[in-house]
Amino acid sequence: MSSLALWGRASRRGRGVLRRSFVIWVKVAVSRALIRVIAMYGDPLWIVVNVGGPMLTSLALAFLYMLAGLSSLTGFAILGGGMVAYWGNVLWSMASQLNWDKRSGMLYLYIASPAPLTALLIGMSLGGILGTLPSSIAVLIIGALLFKPPFTPPTITVALVFMLTLVALYGMGIALSSLYLILGRESEEINEALYEPISFLSGIYFPSIGRFSPLPLAIQAIASLIPLTLGMDALRRTLFYAEGLAELWPNISALAAMAAASILIGLRTLSFIERRGRETGDILVGMK
C-alpha cells in the first residue's frame, strides 16, 4: 500500500476520532445544562428563593433611593437585583461544584467516564445562565412596574454588554472551580470571604466606578479588575444614560479580554487536573 493511501486512511481515522470526541463533548455539555435548569426550577422553594431574595433587596434599596429624593436612581437598585443572582450562581453553583462533587464521590465517576470535565463545566455555565435568566427577568419586570425608573429602550449594545458580562463571570467561575478543586474544604471559606466584598466593589446597586462613584480612585482601580464591575457600569450607562458602543468600547474590550483569559486559564487548568487524575489518581486521593 502506498504512503499516500496510508496517509489518507490515517487522516480519515483521525477525523472520525475528532468527530466522535466532539459529539461526546456536545452531548455532555447539553445534558449537564439541562440537569442544572431542571434542578433549579424543579424545586418550588428554590424558585421562591431565587426570585424573592434579589427582589426584596432591590425593593428595599429602591425605597431608600426614593426616600432620599433620588427617584431617578431607583433603576440602579432594580438592575442590581436582576444581576446579583448571577454572581451568587457563579460562586455557589459553578466555582464550588466540582469540589462538592469530589467530596460526594461523583468526581470519581467523572474521571472514570469519557465525559470531559471541560464539557461538564461549560454545560453547568449554560445551565446556570438559562436557569437564572427567568428569575432575573421577573425581578426586572416587577421592579420596573412598581417604580417606573426612567430608562432607554434596550438596544443591541445592551444585549452585547449583558452577554459579555455573563461570559466573563462564568469564565471566572470556571477558573475558580479548578482552584477550588485543588484547595478542597478551604474553598467554602474563600467563597464566604469573596461574596460580600465583590458584591460591594462591583457596584451592583450603585456606581462603584466612573464619575458618579463615591469611592476613592485607588479602590475604583481595584474594582475595575472585577468583570461584574465593568459589566454593571456599562449596563447602567447604556440603559439610563443612552450611551452606545462609541462610549462603552473600553468596557466592552476589557470584558472580552477578561472572558477569554478566564475561560482559557480555567479550561487549561482543568484539562491538566483531568489528565493527572486519570493517569495517577492524585487529584482524587492526594489532595484535601
What would the pLDDT profile of 79-102 be if each residue is shown by its tens digit?
Answer: 988 888 888 888 877 888 888 888
Contacts of 73 (CB under 8 A, 6+ apart): 65, 149
- Using the predicted structure, report yes or no on whether residue 125 has a pLDDT greater than 50: yes
For 223, residues 6+ apart whose C-beta sits below 8 A from its C-beta are 201, 202, 203, 208, 209, 215, 229
Q: How far apart are CA 173 and CA 96, in angstroms?
A: 9
For 164-259, strand residue ranges (E) read: none
pLDDT at residue 68 tops 90:
no
- Among 87, 84, 81, 196, smallest CA distance to 146 is for 81
pLDDT at 219: 93
Integer CA distances (angstroms), 203 to 208, 239, 247, in order: 5, 15, 19
CB neighbours of residue 286 within 10 Å: 10
| Over residues 139-153, mean pLDDT | 86
HSE, CB side, 13 Å, CA atoms: give it for residue 120.
Answer: 21
Residue 109 in this model has a pLDDT that exceeds 60: yes
Q: Is 12 exposed, middle or buried (0-12, 13-18, 19+ CB in 10 A)?
A: exposed
Distance of CA 99 to the CA centre of its chain: 17
Rounded Cα–Cα distance for residues 192 and 142 (Å): 29
CA distance 107 to 131: 23
Burial class (CB in 10 A: 0-12, 13-18, 19+), 155: middle
- pLDDT above 70 for 220: yes
Average pLDDT over the chain, rounded to an integer? 82
